[in-house]
Amino acid sequence: MAAVVEGSNSTPSAPRGRGRAFLQSEQAQGLALISPTLLYALILLVVPVGVVIAYSFWTQDYLSIDRTFTLEQYSTALGEPIYRDLLLRSLWVSLLVSICTVVLAYPIAYYISFHGGRHKSLWLFLITIPFWTSYLLRVMSWKVILGYNGVLNSGLIGLGIIDEPSTALLYNTSAVVITLTHAWAAFAILPIFVSLEKVDRTLIEAARDLGDGPVRSFLRVTLPLSLPGVISALLIVMIPTVGDYVTPKLVGGKDGVMIASAIETQFKRGGNWPLGSALSVVTMTVVTMMALAVVFIIRQAGRRVR
């Protein structure tokens, strides 16, 4: 019978130093590798945002900054009707745009995921291409379309539907919503598509097998399971659009001005940095709260459908 253990007459080598073991660990190597990128994000994102928050508690007297803590800027940002209106309009627009994009995008994401067949990635590419092209140019093309002498007006006149150019098309909130919805369309499709792809197809078959019709199985299985994608699509559109600058400037006119214009004014031409900072912080905070509320409502609604 062979011995259970062989060659027991050995000398164990000295344990390696802790330091070396740590340097060889995944923890250390991973951190070391990610640190340049992380540092960049810390220095150019976290620090600047921190500085903005700090400024929002200060005051400015012409060119000098008074660093005593005060909530004065916040009371202006939240109290002055002009800023409050701008903020509310921005929130309204971003909410509307995010809902429109998601509602419009869901069927497409569904179509690509369930009926895209072998051409799924081609479809996705086709849909994302316009998104990658210049945002400024896309907004500009809407101005060309909706303008007084624009494509839509001249087209409608040419077709004899209207007699003279309509001024209702451009320079209002709806023009902003339409343009932003177009601009963010592709961004909403991707997360929804990804979450639909993750839905195990046999679950849908199981629902059908258990007696659900196509509509019910969609409502009870596919839709709830794709909610994470819907939620991230909403957020990914809602948060950036609240601070959009280009669209309101180009197609919004007087009625479509949003908070970004106010922020820009405070930072560009000898404005008021602390006030601009407070406006930025308020915008971020409020839009985050709105986003959380929307997520909460959707989750609750999702729980109802069982």
Judged by CB under 8 A, the chain residues 82 through 121 that form the site for another protein are 104, 107-108, 110-112, 114-115, 121
Stretch that binds another protein, among 14-22, 67-75, 221-229, 297-305 (CB under 8 A): 14-22
Number of H helices, E strands in the chain: 15, 2
- Check residue 284 for interaction with another protein (CB under 8 A): yes
| Range 19-38 burial, b when 16+ CB lie within 10 A, else e | eeeeeeeeeeeeeeeeeeee
Q: What share of the chain is helix, strand, coil (3-state, %, to 5)?
A: 75, 0, 25
Sole residue written with tokens 């340097």? 23
Q: Which residue, 5 or 300, has its beta carbon nearer to another protein?
A: 5
- Check residue 133 for interaction with another protein (CB under 8 A): yes
Q: Which of 95, 180, 231, 236 binds another protein (CB under 8 A)?
A: 236
Neighbouring CB atoms inside 10 A of 89's CB total 19
Residue 99: both structure tokens together: 């809902």
**What minimum distance in Å lies between the beta carbon of 174 and another protein?**
15
Name the DSSP class of 119. G
Q: Which of 264, 294, 295, 298 binds another protein (CB under 8 A)?
A: 264
- Residues 57-86, interacting with another protein (CB under 8 A): none
Stretch that binds another protein, among 21-29, 66-74, 169-177, 297-305 (CB under 8 A): 21-29
**What minimum distance in Å lies between the beta carbon of 158 and another protein?**
5
Q: Which of 57, 142, 184, 193 binds another protein (CB under 8 A)?
A: 142
- Check residue 154 for interaction with another protein (CB under 8 A): yes
**Residue 27, SS3?**
helix
- Residues 191-230, interacting with another protein (CB under 8 A): 213-215, 218
The answer to whether the CB of 259 falls within 8 A of the CB of 90 is: yes
User: Which residue(s) pair with 60 in the sheet?
Assistant: 65
Stretch that binds another protein, among 144-152, 195-203, 222-230, 294-302 (CB under 8 A): 144-152
- Check residue 12 for interaction with another protein (CB under 8 A): yes
Sole residue written with tokens 């963010």? 184
Q: Are strands 64-66 and 59-61 parallel, antiparallel or unpaired?
A: antiparallel
